[in-house]
Amino acid sequence: MVSFLEWMNGVASQFGFSGVFLVSLLGTATIVFPLPYTLVILGLGAAGWDPVMLTIAGGSGSAIGEFAGYFLGYFGRRIISKERQRKMDYLLKLLGKYSPVAIFIFALTPLPDDLLFIPLGILRYSPIKAFIPSLLGKFLMCFILASFGKAYGDLLVFLFGDTGSWIGAGITAILLILAIYALYRIDWEKIFEKYVLNAGRKPDSPSRLAYQQLQ
């Protein structure tokens, strides 16, 4: 992992902010086993690089890289039966307006983004609606890393972690398998009908039922 980090630092140092964009893109495009681009941004921030430019380069690169997982799920959907696809689509109706919030939180925090982006690809969630909150989350994350890298470097490494650790990648892989299994096996249509459709129906009162019987 040290060699990867040294290589990424070398690319950033040689190509400047274009290099930061590249290593950030690669850092999130490697599904399940991400490269530690956050540590590169943290180190460059501590070295005095412009935090705004680091935010733009690192945030845009990492947000675009996340779509490797999205497109893996998008094209992987073809192997799923039409009936199962139809049932899985009800999950989007359950998520509703909270989907952008979840995407933003995953982008901002050390939560493994592939856990969200691969299922979003399977569900054919709008790429534009996924990209905007992801970009905003990555911008904020990179701004925090770049701005406070020098003063609070040790704390931020603890919070954001080494995203390339083998232990973290192993845990992410297990959680990803479980998430996709649940996505495939759960009957989302029944859940939608039970908790959304039925929740919106008010039961008839005894007097109303008696009135209907007289009609």
Divide the 215 residues of the chain into consecutive groups of 10 and give the mean pLDDT of each group.
68 88 90 76 85 94 92 82 68 74 87 82 89 95 83 56 51 65 68 63 44 41
Cα–Cα dist 178/130, whole Å: 22
pLDDT in the model for residue 77: 77
Q: What's the pTM value of the predicted model, to 2 decimals? A: 0.70
Helix boundaries (H) for 89-126:
90-95, 99-108, 114-122
pLDDT in the model for residue 57: 95
Cβ-contact 94, 191 below 8 angstroms:
yes
- CB-hemisphere CA count at 13 Å for 93? 15
CA distances for 34 relative to 31, 69, 154, 187, 188, angstroms: 6, 11, 20, 32, 30
pLDDT in the model for residue 146: 87
pLDDT in the model for residue 43: 83
Domain spans in the chain, listed from the N-terminal domain onward: 2-200
Burial of residue 46, with CB atoms counted within 10 A of its CB: 0-12 exposed, 13-18 middle, 19 or more buried: middle
Cβ-contact 192, 94 below 8 angstroms:
yes
pLDDT in the model for residue 132: 95
